[in-house]
């Protein structure tokens, strides 16, 4: 039967006009503004595929209008020279005096085990789009592929991904690595880590509180006693330093310092009081790097060790760094053993540096590793302590 309104309505069965429908919808939405006639004449736009997605799908994924085929990692990519020339690897290949410049098929021999088909695909894909997503588990492979192709933006992106996903065990491995390049001295890293750990363990620390060394926990008397005993052994010539240790022990326990040489000039820096008063002087002159044991002034006994002979083990390394080449070329003397007297130059530690200062955006990083750890023979330590006490009685 229907309701009473339907039976009494004079408009029942009459088709409503478009204007009435629009007006009714506007009232339902709470908007009483009447649309203008021009609103009904404007067609609705249909969202089309974006240009970036079209290029990626048509040119990269489907390989349409390809003019070069790349064979690598057991796969085939139909690509375009115009896009490949964005990286220096292919730009040099196609625009230089190489046979690949006129070939339509290029076979890439990749020896890096970190580069797999997926990593190489991401590297090629970055040439066709800016929207690149690299997972942390893929970062190493993609970084290796980007380094091979010399894709600087992708290299920086991989670095950012890897820095944000460093695990604790990996951090410890990096910090203890003998290949860790550092500036100034290695103790700077220790100081930085010590401050960072303290802040992490004491987020509410008040700077105006009690000094750590004034607390019972901060008393380091046993450590100072241990170092003082070693110092006595050196001064009394009981310990003359190491002459032969394994490479593993040298890399684990040697101290390192580093400097950057930017231009051709004389450089000189010191390790003041290194290892119980042994003062080391390093000089770079006429492209020759050498180390000297500095005797210092004899007026201030105790500041610099006057031991007649001291054995040290040393390794000098030089890395050639170029801004456009992320892989440095490293030269090294290997591990050498020296016996130095005050003011004597360690001739066997000389490193002849092959430098090309004329090369633009090139710098040289010098790293010096020195191992001069005293022996830890407890019997010798006690003997040195007894002799020192007897001397002052």
Interatomic CA distance for residues 304 and 231, integer angstroms: 11
Residue 142 has pLDDT above 90, yes or no: yes
CATH number of the domain where residue 289 is located: 2.60.210
Comparison of pLDDT for 180 and 380, the residue scoring more:
180
Q: Which of 133, 163, 193 is the last residue of a domain?
A: 163
Kindly state whether residue 269 falls inside one of the protein's structural domains: yes
Question: Which stretches of the chain are assigned E, i.e. beta strand?
Answer: 68-72, 75-79, 105-107, 184-185, 255-261, 267-273, 278-285, 288-294, 310-322, 325-332, 336-340, 344-345, 351-352, 362-371
Instruction: Classify residue 46: in a domain, yes or no.
Output: no
In a domain, 391, yes or no: no
Quote the pTM value: 0.53
Name the β-bridge partners of 357: none
Nearest to 178 by CA among 126, 231, 249, 269: 249
Does pLDDT of 147 surpass 80? yes
CATH code where residue 93 lies: 3.30.710.10
The answer to whether residue 382 is domain-embedded is no
State which of 106, 135, 163 marks the end of a domain.
163
For residue 197 the two structure tokens come to: 């750990």
Lowest mean pLDDT among 25-34, 204-213, 356-365: 25-34
> Is there a domain that residue 77 lies in?
yes
Task: Please answer whether residues 342 and 240 qualify as being in contact, where contact means their C-beta atoms are separated by less than 8 angstroms.
Answer: no
In the predicted structure, residue 11 carries a pLDDT above the cut 70: no
Residue 138, CB-side half-sphere exposure with 13 Å CA sphere: 17
Greater model confidence, 20 or 280? 280
Task: Quote the pLDDT of residue 9.
Answer: 45
Q: What pLDDT, on the 0 to 100 scale, is given for residue 302?
A: 58
Mean pLDDT of the chain: 74
pLDDT in tens, 157-191: 999 999 888 888 888 888 888 777 777 677 778 88
Can you point out the beta strands (E) in 27-145? 68-72, 75-79, 105-107
Asked whether residue 319 is assigned to any structural domain, the reply reads yes
- Residue 116: predicted pLDDT: 92
| Interacting residues of 304 by C-beta distance below 8 A, sequence separation 6+ | 273, 277, 278, 279, 294, 295, 296, 297
Indicate the number of domains in the chain. 2
- Is 263 contained in some domain? yes
Q: Is the dihedral of CA 124, 130, 131, 137 positive or negative?
A: positive
Q: Give the per-residue pLDDT at 78.
A: 92
Q: Which of 193, 119, 173, 178 shows the shortest CA–CA distance to 149?
A: 119
Report the pLDDT value the prediction gives residue 364, as an integer from 0 to 100.
74
Contact 294, 270 (CB under 8 A): yes
Tell me the pairing of strands 105-107 and 68-72. Answer: parallel
Residue 32, pLDDT > 80, answer: no
Which one has a higher pLDDT value, 258 or 68?
A: 68
Intra-chain end-to-end CA distance of the chain, in Å: 126
Note whether 140 and 256 are same-domain residues. no
Q: Are 364 and 260 in contact (CB under 8 A)?
A: yes
Question: In this structure, what are the phi and psi dihedrals at residue 43, rounded to the nearest 5 degrees?
Answer: -75, 150
41-61 confidence digits (pLDDT tens): 445 454 455 788 888 888 988
Whether 174 is covered by a domain: the verdict is no
pLDDT at 110 over 60: yes
3 state SS of 236: coil
Last residue of a domain, one of 163, 181, 202: 163
Residue 87 predicted with pLDDT over 50: yes
The answer on 157 and 253 residing in a single domain is: no
Domain that holds residue 363: 247-373
Report, as an integer, the average pLDDT of 66-80.
Answer: 90
Task: Tell me the angle at which helices 152-163 and 139-149 cross, rounded to the nearest 10 degrees.
Answer: 160
For residues 88-108, average pLDDT: 88
């Amino acid at each position: 039967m229907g309701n009473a309104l339907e039976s009494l309505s004079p408009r029942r069965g009459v088709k409503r006009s478009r204007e009435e429908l629009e007006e009714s919808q506007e009232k339902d939405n709470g908007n009483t503004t009447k649309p203008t006639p021009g609103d009904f004449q404007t067609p609705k736009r249909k969202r089309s595929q974006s240009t970036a997605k079209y290029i990626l799908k048509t040119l990269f994924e489907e390989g349409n209008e390809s003019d070069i085929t790349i064979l690598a990692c057991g796969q085939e990519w139909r690509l375009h020279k115009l896009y490949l020339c964005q990286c220096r690897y292919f730009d040099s290949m196609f625009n230089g005096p190489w046979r690949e410049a006129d070939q339509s098929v290029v076979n890439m021999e990749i020896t890096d085990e970190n580069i797999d088909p997926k990593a190489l695909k991401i590297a090629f894909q970055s040439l066709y789009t800016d929207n690149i997503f690299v997972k942390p588990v893929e970062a190493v492979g993609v970084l290796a592929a980007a380094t091979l192709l010399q894709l600087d933006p992708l290299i920086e992106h991989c670095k950012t991904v890897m820095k944000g996903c460093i695990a604790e065990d990996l951090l410890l491995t990096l910090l203890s690595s003998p290949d860790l390049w550092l500036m100034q001295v290695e103790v700077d890293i220790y100081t930085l880590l010590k401050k960072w750990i303290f802040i992490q363990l004491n987020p509410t620390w008040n700077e105006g509180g009690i000094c750590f060394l004034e607390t019972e926990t901060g008393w380091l008397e046993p450590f100072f006693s241990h170092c003082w005993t070693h110092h006595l052994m050196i001064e009394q010539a009981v310990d003359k330093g190491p002459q032969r240790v394994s490479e593993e022990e040298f890399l684990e326990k040697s101290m390192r310092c580093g400097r950057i040489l930017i231009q051709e000039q004389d450089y000189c820096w010191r390790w003041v009081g290194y290892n119980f008063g042994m003062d080391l002087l390093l000089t770079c002159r006429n492209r020759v790097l050498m180390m000297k044991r500095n005797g210092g002034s004899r007026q201030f006994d105790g500041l610099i060790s006057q031991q007649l002979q001291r054995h040290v083990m040393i390794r000098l390394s030089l890395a050639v760094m170029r801004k456009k080449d992320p892989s440095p070329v490293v030269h090294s003397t290997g591990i050498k053993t020296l016996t130095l007297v005050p003011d004597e130059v360690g001739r066997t530690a000389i490193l002849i540096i092959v430098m090309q200062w004329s090369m633009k955006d090139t710098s040289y990083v010098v790293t010096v590793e020195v191992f001069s750890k005293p022996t830890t023979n407890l019997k010798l330590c006690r003997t040195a302590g007894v002799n020192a006490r007897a001397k002052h009685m």
